[in-house]
Chain A
Amino acid sequence: AQSVAQPEDQVNVAEGNPLTVKCTYSVSGNPYLFWYVQYPNRGLQFLLKYITGDNLVKGSYGFEAEFNKSQTSFHLKKPSALVSDSALYFCAVRDYRGFKTIFGAGTRLFVKA
C-alpha cells in the first residue's frame, strides 16, 4: 500500500536561512512524487514533481526537492526562506500504475522575519 509520512507537524526558520521540509514515502514500484503548498483559505498549489531523471528537481518560487531512492525520501528545500513562504506544505505520492494520489498530513512552515 502507498503511504507518505511528513514527520514534522511544524518547521520554524528565520528569514534568509535555508529550509527543509521532510517527506518519506512507501510505494510498490516506481514512485511519482509531488509537493504542494496551501495558503490560508485556498486550495493546494503544485510546486514540483519527480517522475524520473535527475534526483534534484527544481520547482516554483525557488523551491527544490531531492529524491533519494535508498532512503525513500523526497525532502523539500529552499536555500533562503522568505516570510511569504509561510504556509502548509503537502508531500504526495502516486504509484505509476494507479490514479490515486496519497497526501501526507502536511507540515506547517513558519518563517520569522
Chain B
Amino acid sequence: GAGVSQSPSNKVTEKGKDVELRCDPISGHTALYWYRQRLGQGLEFLIYFQGNSAPDKSGLPSDRFSAERTGESVSTLTIQRTQQEDSAVYLCASSLTGQTNQPQHFGDGTRLSIL
C-alpha cells in the first residue's frame, strides 16, 4: 500500500552532527506536516507545507531545524549541530488537502538518538 514512508526508521548519531530525515507522503496529498514526539509525550507541531504556499515554520524549536519540500512530494527535515534534547521520534503526516476536516495519515516515524 502507498502509505506515508519515512526514512531512516532509526538514526543514532553523535552530538554536534547534522542529520537529515526524509518523508514521502501519500501520492496526491498536498498537505504535509512534521511533528516531534518525545518519549512518553504527545505530538509537538514543527512545520506545515501546503501545496506551493510558503510553509508555516512556527513550530520549529530553533534555527538548527529546517525543512524543505519539493513541490507536493518528498520532504526533508534537517537538524544541524544536534543536541541530546533533539532525541525523539520525528513523525511525518500528510493529508489530501489542508482543509480542516481532513484526517492526517502518519508514517511510522524516525527514531533519533543523540549520543
**A positions within 8 Å CB-CB of B:** 32, 34, 36, 41-46, 49, 51, 90, 94-106
Contacts and interface: CB of A to CB of B under 8 A. Distances in A.
Given A43-B93, A43-B106, A99-B50, A32 B100 contact: yes
Given A44-B106, A45-B106, A101 B101 contact: no
Given A34-B103, A99-B50, A99-B98, A90 B108 contact: no
Contact of A99 (B4, B6, B48): B48
Contacts, number: 56
Interface residues of B, number: 25
Contacts of B6: 43
Interface of B: 4, 6, 31, 33, 35, 41-43, 45, 48, 50, 56, 91, 93, 98, 100-101, 103-109, 111
B105 A99 contact: no
A105 B42 contact: yes
Given A99-B31, A103-B42, 14 more contacts: A34-B103, A36-B106, A43-B109, A44-B43, A44-B93, A90-B43, A99-B56, A99-B98, A101-B33, A101-B45, A101-B104, A103-B43, A105-B42, A106-B42
B100 A49 contact: no
A34 to B, nearest CB: 6
B101 A32 contact: yes
Nearest to B6: A43
Nearest to A47: B103
